[in-house]
Amino acid sequence: MKKLLYITLLITAIAACKNDNPKDPEKIIEPVAAKYVQTSPNFNEDSAFAYVAAQCNFGPRVPSTNGHKLCADYLIKELKKYADKVEINGAPLKTFDGKTHQCKNIIASFNLKASKRVMLSAHWDTRPFADQDTKDIDKPIDGANDGGSGVGVLLEIARQLKLKPTEIGIDIILFDLEDYGQPGDSDDPHMEDSYCIGSQYWAKNLHIKNYMPAYGILLDMVGAPDAQFTKEKGSMEFAPAVVEKVWATGQKLGYTNFVNEPNTGVIDDHYYVNQIAKIPIIDIIEYTKDKDVGDHFSHTWHTHNDNIKNISKFTLKNVGQTVMEVIYGEK
């Protein structure tokens, strides 16, 4: 039965890839900046999109639901195809509403013998409610962008790492229980640090004692059409050199959505990894500078519009290729 379900999901995901977002430019890859020669393998945006669609086909990946369990099994199975080692880091953790959920941080490691390592991460769970929507607020969201896009990019990078290993070691960490944060209108007692529970646990219980990569890159909401990635304040405080390297690389590749402007800062998984584990990690997250309505996340953030119809292969390509160019350039 599981095999049949997996095949059905895979066929559906592939079919979804044929329905390109009408907002996407006809030409997925922008012209590369003059005189800059790409050194990394080509990031396949169709493959990344299929990985996003496959996650969405499980439905919302809310902790302690069947969709969450099935997606965890899928992610582990996919990563085992490519990585040298896959392991689970987690424990039963309590959320703001007093419920306890089994946290599953999924870790895939490549080139285990390499002493120099880079950490790539995203969260794979989805929000249990649509608190930024105007209807069905108490129902969970698909999380195609908020969760699915970052994971989709990292799964495609994992596939590329199998085909052409990097000189350095890479650790892909998919955090759980990121998006179960307390809404502002909740009647439950206030809970400090109610978001990013999985990364908080991981930062206090590292999968390897004294784990300390050279740096890390977190991907969150990296799939919306016309997304802008401004320089997140916390990233600039903890790892400014990494921010500048990543943004300069994206711009050299011709990707104009890497914007040379700061934003006000967000509390995301990278914040706790920086604060607790002291690992210099940055956040590539959509945060648009808008003089008319103010700075904002994606318009689909925490709404039911966060679905596969609003995922852009073009944006996935921009982010994925930039990250690959950075890590394949490390020695």
| Model confidence pLDDT, tens digit, residues 123-135 | 999 999 999 999 9
pLDDT at 9: 41
Mean pLDDT of the chain: 91
**Residues ≥6 apart with Cβ < 8 Å to 230:** 259, 261, 262, 263, 287, 288, 289, 295
pLDDT band with cut points at 50, 70 and 90 for residue 79 = very high
Report if residue 44 sits inside a domain.
Answer: yes
CA distance linking residue 197 with residue 94, whole number of Å: 9
Q: Give the pair of three-digit tokens for residue 265.
A: 């800062």
**Predicted confidence (pLDDT) at residue 5 exceeds the cutoff of 90:** no
What is the span of the domain harbouring residue 62? 2-182+192-328
SS3 content of the chain, % helix, strand, coil (to 5): 35, 15, 50
Neighbours of 29 (CB within 10 A): 16
pLDDT band with cut points at 50, 70 and 90 for residue 290 = confident
Report if residue 286 sits inside a domain.
Answer: yes
pLDDT at 12: 44
Please report, for residues 1, 89, 131, 279, 311, the alpha-carbon distance to residue 208 in angstroms, rounded to integers and kept in the order given: 36, 10, 36, 13, 35
Report pTM: 0.91
CA distance linking residue 311 with residue 222, whole number of Å: 9
pLDDT digits (tens, 9 = 90+) for 13-65: 444 444 445 455 444 444 455 579 999 999 999 999 999 999 999 999 999 99
Task: Give me the mean pLDDT over the 179-208 stretch.
Answer: 97
Report if residue 187 sits inside a domain.
Answer: no
Do the beta carbons of residue 217 and residue 293 sit within 8 Å?
A: no
Do the beta carbons of residue 132 and residue 43 sit within 8 Å?
A: no
DSSP per residue, 219-287: EES--STT--EEE-HHHHHH-HHHHHHHHHHHHHTT-TTEEEEE------HHHHIIIII---EEEEE--
Do the beta carbons of residue 166 and residue 327 sit within 8 Å?
A: yes
Task: Kindly state the DSSP code that residue 134 receives in the 8-state scheme.
Answer: S
Task: Kindly state the DSSP code that residue 288 receives in the 8-state scheme.
Answer: B
90-100 burial, b at 16+ Cβ within 10 Å, e below that, comes to beebebbeeee
pLDDT at 34: 56
Report if residue 96 sits inside a domain.
Answer: yes
pLDDT at 218: 99
Report if residue 7 sits inside a domain.
Answer: yes
**Predicted confidence (pLDDT) at residue 227 exceeds the cutoff of 90:** yes
**Predicted confidence (pLDDT) at residue 88 exceeds the cutoff of 50:** yes
Q: Give the pair of three-digit tokens for residue 122.
A: 């995203």
Number of domains in the chain: 1
Report if residue 313 sits inside a domain.
Answer: yes
CATH number (domain holding residue 138): 3.40.630.10
